[in-house]
Amino acid sequence: MQFLWVYIDDLVGKGLEWYIIAELLFYASASFVPLALPLAILLASIMTFGNLGEFYELTAIKSSGISLWRFMRPLLLLILVFSAGAFYFSNTVLPVSRLKFGSLLYDIQQKKPALSIKEGIFYTDIENYAIRIESKSEDNRFIRNVLIYDHSSGRGNVQVVVAESGEMYQSDDERYLTLKLYNGYSYEEMNVRPEEAHRRPQTRSHFGEQLVHFDLSALKMQRTDEELFKDYYSMLNVSQLDFAIDSLEIDYLFRQRELNGFMTNYYQFGKDTTFIPRLVNGSHLSDTSDFFASLDPNMRKAVLQDAINNTQALQGFSGMKMRELGAKRNLLNRHYLELHRKFALSFACFVLFLIGAPLGAIIRRGGLGLPMLFCILFFLIYHVITMTSEKLARDSHLDPEIALWISSFVLLPVGLFLSFKANSDSTLFDAAPYRRFFGRIFMLFRKPAQA
């Protein structure tokens, strides 16, 4: 639904075949796997261990001398397999699907709307033509009061066709539109020499029936070469990202040195000229204020204006270069984030399993009730931290190499704590102890009853 709301304007009204939309949705669905996989592992682990706890199967396992950690060992190996699969998917499948999705979406966005000639409105999507019809039948075949402006000559509205009625239909392959016009006139202004332009001669011809053909090939969707999109950061695998990051780092450092070199040449920061002795009218001066005061008013004004102009020029140039460096830093950060996203996804699957499995053993509830509530809570924490740190990293407020790992490292101690509590049969979420604790506190502040 989110995908459809975002791209609905690009899909509606273009006459796309169902299989093109299905192909676009298929490629887009691959991008949801990094978001859905950690959530699926978290929910599945909570539900599985919750069912085992609800029907006392975990109690039977522990009574036989098998600890929760030992029981979880095979599942940990399974989660490691899932984590490896998640990395393979992010590194191999996801870049290809994003490449195909991006190229297909670009072609759809560039496609002109499907043929739809409405009553009383000029239709201009056919190149070099403007068509207007006053009315048409319900089956869109018979039309009345047709007006066609032909701009194919490149001289403006010099060819006009007017007809009382007609028929409109497309060829079987929908490549051509044919208008069979009845009882009309064709007007054309003649091309004359410049000195005879004031005469404006024209020809007018009457017809009882005339066929007008329009080429609709420009309305068809043209597929673009996918090679044009392959260098985008979200469409690269690990090795390609490493190569791109290395090139971007070199270019970024070169731009920095270029800016520093320009600033150094513009102002000699290494020399403090305010203490250089000067000779004015044969006298030895060490204070530049005396030197400036010794200048005549016109020269003093020229010096100040020259300093203002130099400062403004330097400010404009440095501002432009800083914006350029900011854009390059943002692109470099996005490459770093995409590189670490492939590894962080695998680690997140492992961390969320460490939370889900002991949490299900503690709450001892299966199904989609309480487990879903805890699942949503922890996943929102994971997702909000990830999105916030990623945005900070894109804006260079946080190191992009650690941004996507923060959510996993925040939740990892929670998973280890829950695992320890579950292994020791803790009643962490039992309401009775909390009720007794707060009840005692309430009794301390309660006024003693009067005798």
Give the pLDDT band of residue 176 (cuts 50, 70, 90): confident
DSSP letter for 93, please. I
Same domain, residue pair 96 and 190? no
Residues 132, 122: contact at Cβ < 8 Å?
A: yes
Cα→Cα distances 434→343, 431, 438, Å: 40, 5, 6
Give the pLDDT band of residue 309 (cuts 50, 70, 90): confident
Would you state the pLDDT for residue 113? 56
Give the pLDDT band of residue 274 (cuts 50, 70, 90): very low
Give the pLDDT mean for 323-331: 88
> Which of 61-65, 251-255, 371-375 shows the highest mean pLDDT?
251-255
Same domain, residue pair 257 and 374? yes
Which residues are within 8 A (CB) of 259 and not within 5 positions of it... i.e. 6 or more apart? Answer: 318, 321, 322, 325
Would you state the pLDDT for residue 413? 92
Give the pLDDT mean for 376-392: 91
Report if residue 448 sits inside a domain: no
Give the pLDDT band of residue 89 (cuts 50, 70, 90): very high
Which residues are within 8 A (CB) of 361 and not within 5 positions of it... i.e. 6 or more apart? Answer: 49, 50, 52, 53, 58, 68, 422
Q: Nearest 5°: phi and psi at 138?
A: -65, -30
Give the pLDDT mean for 313-325: 84
Same domain, residue pair 273 and 420? yes
Same domain, residue pair 38 and 62? yes
Give the pLDDT mean for 278-289: 48
Give the pLDDT band of residue 279 (cuts 50, 70, 90): very low
Would you state the pLDDT for residue 19? 84
Would you state the pLDDT for residue 389? 93
Give the pLDDT band of residue 432 (cuts 50, 70, 90): low
Would you state the pLDDT for residue 337? 93
Q: How far is CA 146 from the centre of its chain?
A: 45
Report if residue 341 sits inside a domain: yes
- Identify which of 153, 144, 149, 159 has the alpha carbon closest to the alpha carbon of residue 124: 149
Same domain, residue pair 176 and 252? no
Same domain, residue pair 256 and 373? yes
Would you state the pLDDT for residue 282? 47
Structural domains counted in the chain = 2
Same domain, residue pair 247 and 343? yes
Instruction: Please provide the size of the chain in residues.
Output: 451
What gap in Å lies between CA 30 and CA 439, rounded to an integer?
52
Report if residue 443 sits inside a domain: no
Q: Is 277 helix (H, G, I), strand (E, B) or coil?
A: coil
Residues 163, 182: contact at Cβ < 8 Å?
A: yes
Query: Model-level pTM?
Result: 0.67
82-86, 144-148, 399-403, 420-424: the lowest-pLDDT one: 420-424
Domain range for residue 267?
Answer: 1-111+221-425
Q: Read off the tokens for 10.
A: 């690009």
Judged against a pLDDT cut of 80, whether residue 447 lies above it is answered with: no
Report if residue 50 sits inside a domain: yes
What is the pLDDT of the chain when averaged over all its residues? 80
More confident residue, 261 or 431: 261
